[in-house]
Chains A and B, each alone.
Chain A
């Protein structure tokens, strides 16, 4: 019997992942051993060290392009760019989690998730200042899973990463301090549908393995070349795409999105909306470009149709929403469609505008989304956050700064020039038109205009309506939320006005190895 060979591990290339997962594990230990009084600051510190450390190490690794861990992990430009994005968004989300001055009970998270909602103990806990600190290791694990997801060079590892990122998210969704039943319903819904999606992914994986005899992306690529008629492969790819599109909340796999976004604690929604999308699209890009880059004719029509469906569903159904969190959920569905427009922009030859454009779009969308959700946490009334649209009427007169920032983020989501959203849209549409997919780009532009209507409606409400007499109060954010707002607003403006250097970075990072 031959000796088992240990896979080669390039620890330098794995440093960001190790740091984040290490921080998550330390967080679990702290949870078990540290006294309650010091847990919160320590957990926040550890989570920030993990995510910020991960961010810095990915930047230090820039330019790396290698396959490691026995070929299961690809540390290349795309992976590093997206990992840096995920860790940055993760760090911002941790700051939102750590906000303690907005809620009267000093946290957005339930004190003890196991206590039944509405019980005497729950009522007692709801006003206590006890805070939940398990959320920090959970979110760190999710960040680690997402990072792994974007660099998985192997379908099995991709599946493992999918679960690592999903399970903490399911839990986090159910931990809202206010409106707990809604939150628990969201968690259960997300879990059940997510489990379905994982099963689809796994089934697809099995079929692809059956067709090509490997789970390694590079080997699948060889097997897939010119295999357009292989039923097993086509089915397998379709099922894999279903699993990924679920995570990316692409229509018609989007039905969970509005409910979960609405029910989850807002900092979690922010994290989910921004970082999950980056991770899911990272995996989509790697799967489609690496494993099936030579079998474009299989997935291109599929992605084309999904992009149109997603844009139309997101833009049209968003028009009828009256809750801001649901509105942003439909916005996120529409943006998933715009991102797929960038995925269509794969040209196949050396220079690949689609890849860089999609990566840049993910960055801008993530930052803007976190900023927008951070603002939602500020506007509150008796029952928690006031997310109903009508509650935002006349907000500009109560708090001009909140209204101005919200307008900035909304204009960015609508893609108005001089905001980051426009640069991103321009990049993906250019990529699509360059590959001849101009009908798709026209659909995207028209749906952009439709979606602009519901963004504008919020602006109209904030600026041109008179405030309700018993309107919500605008909380004064503590330093963590203030920092998040400052960073996201600055990024939204800078990436809109002088995007050159970041575009360069995305362009030079648009390299996949495998």
Chain B
């Protein structure tokens, strides 16, 4: 089964789907979303089949395929996954159908047809698969940049009131990072040309190189800047709250759930194995940024008045933990970081989806506009609480396992950083519980309550400042009772809720899938796997 080109299919199917959806007549928006759902489910099935075909004990890169693409540059269209990339593909596979479901009733602000929304979403899925499946650095770069275009149109075309600014900021930040990385990519090629006699971008060949430490530092800096912007680490993070807040909910889920993971994935896949000396030497700098990010973003999250910005800031704090796990240089912490990448995608994805459902009801993003929602929509409140608890890594939820692994794995090598980072857990409890209390508990009030009451003649419309046009706010003069989760919404959150609990209690299959790849990565980075490996996944690595 392993000679079926699963990965290629996962890139081609959504790309073709995007083309078909875009070519539909504008009136067929309903058909477009059905098609989008079907295609995303096919990709999910493909991802699961790929995972079944993958042998955790086998060679590091599996399901590989390769074809010459631009021979003059030594570029190959080479695909393949290790355990880390595979779990990211599974995450993509799960999140995209959820996003399609969550965006089912999305409407555009202008006269734009929704079919372009579905087309861009599928195009985004195609590039997201490509970026994780590429084993050629040039190909990785191409997907890394190509990924920006669909997301740019999703934010700019279907986002909130400030979408133009957010879309351009997102694009320029990422593009700048990407271009600096391009310099490093070319630099790697030049080094390979002088050492191997033939320029190549193949990851497996590049990690054999013996690069001069000074050059390593420069090349590392190029990659690290791109990934630090993408991940994002403080102080390169300012684009995320804007993009996350203005993006349509579906876009926001994929933005923090998957796109940003490319940054941390890149650190682990490219920075550590290709530039081990530079990574080791410059690790304190990255760790400092990571820990600052954990505390600073958490503090900012506490102070947010906008629901979507709050979730964006919590993500920045979480990315600090992931970076801490990666640059602690222990197999255990790095395993934790990879799990964190998956779990954060699920937990924060769920949080964004629920927040989106709340905003859809109230038409406002302001926290102050909500109160006592749990009395009218207990299911919604329950899922919100679960997502919040997963976000603060309560034991029993999926995030706990990963955060715990990161912290105990990092402590032996980097005690100071780890201890400081632990403070972030307390802050996480603060921002999650505060927002839950403010919006869900207490007397029922705010925009939802106003919508239920018969309108007094002076009834002011909810403050327009935070109102998105995502879904229609109740028209004045009409009363609309607040509904709890509809069957569609339940179907959307159910898979994520199930995963939060499942991975909270049974993380072992995931760990077994990831661990060999992490060990291989760490041995490339010069870490002795025997000393620090947790007692799972004894499979040898190549």
Contact = CB atoms under 8 A, between A and B. Distances in A.
Nearest to A448: B179
A438 B190 CA distance: 11
A478 interface: no
Contacts of B141: 417
Contact of A434 (B71, B157, B172, B190): B190
A445 B110 contact: no
A397 interface: yes
B55 interface: no
A411 B179 contact: no
Interface stretch (B142-150, B415-423, B477-485): B142-150
Nearest to B158: A464
Contacts of A499: 70, 72
Interface residues of B, number: 36
B176 A418 contact: no
A460 B110 contact: no
Interface in B40-71: 68-71
Interface stretch (A182-190, A321-329, A450-458): A450-458
Given A448-B179, A464-B164, 8 more contacts: A394-B110, A416-B148, A416-B149, A418-B142, A426-B182, A430-B73, A452-B171, A499-B70
B529 interface: no
Contacts of B179: 415, 445-446, 448-449
A66 to B, nearest CB: 26
Contacts of A43: none
B183 A429 contact: yes
Contacts of A503: 70, 72-73
B34 interface: no
7 contacts: A411-B149, A430-B190, A442-B180, A499-B70, A500-B68, A500-B70, A500-B71
Contacts of A433: 183, 186-187, 190
Contact of A441 (B72, B167, B172, B186): B186
A504 interface: yes
A466 interface: yes
B164 A417 contact: no
A452 B171 CA distance: 9
Grouping DSSP codes into helix (H, G, I), strand (E, B) and loop, the B interface class, with mixed when no group exceeds half, is helix
B156 interface: yes
Contacts of A465: 164
B10 to A, nearest CB: 18
A449 B226 CA distance: 13
B472 interface: no
Interface in A370-416: 394, 396-397, 411, 414-416
B117 interface: no
B186 A416 contact: no
Contacts of B142: 417-418, 422
A460 B167 contact: yes
A426 B189 CA distance: 12
Contacts of A394: 110
A430 B189 contact: yes
A316 to B, nearest CB: 15
A265 B103 CA distance: 47
Contacts of A449: 172, 175-176, 179
Contact of B73 (A426, A442, A453, A498): A426
Interface string A435-449: 000100110011011
Nearest to A442: B183
Interface string A471-514: 00000000000000000000000000011100110010000000
B168 A504 contact: no
A430 B186 contact: yes
Contacts of A500: 68-72
